[in-house]
Amino acid sequence: MDHDEVLALYDDRLRRNAPPDPGCRVERDGAVVRQVGAEHSWNGVVWSGLDEAGADAAIAAQVRHFAESGLEFEWKAYSHDRPADLGARLLAAGFTPEPDEALMIARIADLPTDSALPEGVRLLPVTDPAGVELLMEAHALAFGAEHPGLRERMLDQLRAGTETVSMVVAMAGDRPVSGARMELIPGTGFAGLWGGGTAPEWRGRGIYRALVAHRARLAADLGYQYLQVDASDQSRPILQRLGFAWLSTTTPYVRGVA
């Protein structure tokens, strides 16, 4: 896999020409591409092509836009974005950074698609609101808290249809112990892996690897070429061992409602 070529594809297809999430719209404001939706949707800047001369004005324009809409929003910045001091400029404009994540991408054809689950654990596809509740329970066990609006975003994705999302819960008996979703982006060749967190007492038993393999099989069957993950420090080493490449670092900068 040519890392520079794949990163350029990612920037072009998923950022510069980003398709909107269900119920949202993508807007272009000069050298900025943003997504705007309901309060529970992901609202924010997905791409920018700024220079030193115009960066501060462009940042201020986005702050005004989302403030007028009454929406908290995120500027999703990457280490290869320009200008090189974009993060410092966002901090100066009142944004709060969240933990860095590694942008990791793999060619699906290079990934293992078979991985055994621990004895007594099965995968349950999420197809209805009851399944979303199981997924939220697994998420709370894994990460300690719910992200605001996540439940509603997942319900929106279900309503939009199976061509845009696939969700699954790992069940130990009747208890959800891990959960994950895959966002399918038609026409781009990319599918995004999200979640994958596992309850602490079930970690180290191969559930995360099995969830990656499960989603890789589904994506391959649907004709996708690449899987993309915004990986935490915990999942990054596992993904690297599976064959994912670390292509950039992304930092979410969050701006509350003024």
- Condensed to tens digits (0 to 9), the pLDDT of residues 27-65 reads 999 999 999 998 889 999 999 999 999 999 999 999 999
Identify the band that residue 157 occupies on the pLDDT scale cut at 50, 70 and 90. confident
C-beta separation of 26 from 37 below 8 A: no
H-helix segments, the chain = 3-10, 55-69, 86-92, 129-143, 150-160, 207-221, 236-242
Is pLDDT at 191 greater than 70 in this prediction? yes
What per-residue confidence (pLDDT) applies to 21? 86
Percentage of residues of the chain with pLDDT beyond 90: 84
Cα distances (Å, whole numbers) of residue 127 to 18, 20, 168: 26, 22, 9
Cα distances (Å, whole numbers) of residue 170 to 133, 188, 245: 13, 28, 26
Q: What is the pLDDT of residues 89-101, one digit of tens each?
A: 999 999 999 999 9
How many Å apart are CA 207 and CA 192, to the nearest integer? Answer: 18
Compute the mean pLDDT over every residue in the chain, rounded to the nearest whole number.
Answer: 94
Is pLDDT at 107 greater than 80 in this prediction? yes
What per-residue confidence (pLDDT) applies to 162? 62
Q: What is the mean pLDDT of residues 208-227?
A: 95
Q: What is the mean pLDDT of residues 15-26?
A: 92
Is pLDDT at 79 greater than 90 in this prediction? yes
Percentage of residues of the chain with pLDDT beyond 70: 98
CATH numbers and ranges of domains, the chain: 3-101+251-255 (3.40.630), 107-249 (3.40.630.30)
Identify the band that residue 242 occupies on the pLDDT scale cut at 50, 70 and 90. very high
Instruction: Spell out the residues 6+ positions from residue 195 whose beta carbon is closer than 8 angstroms to its own.
Output: 135, 139, 142, 179, 180, 181
Supply 176's token pair: 């959800």
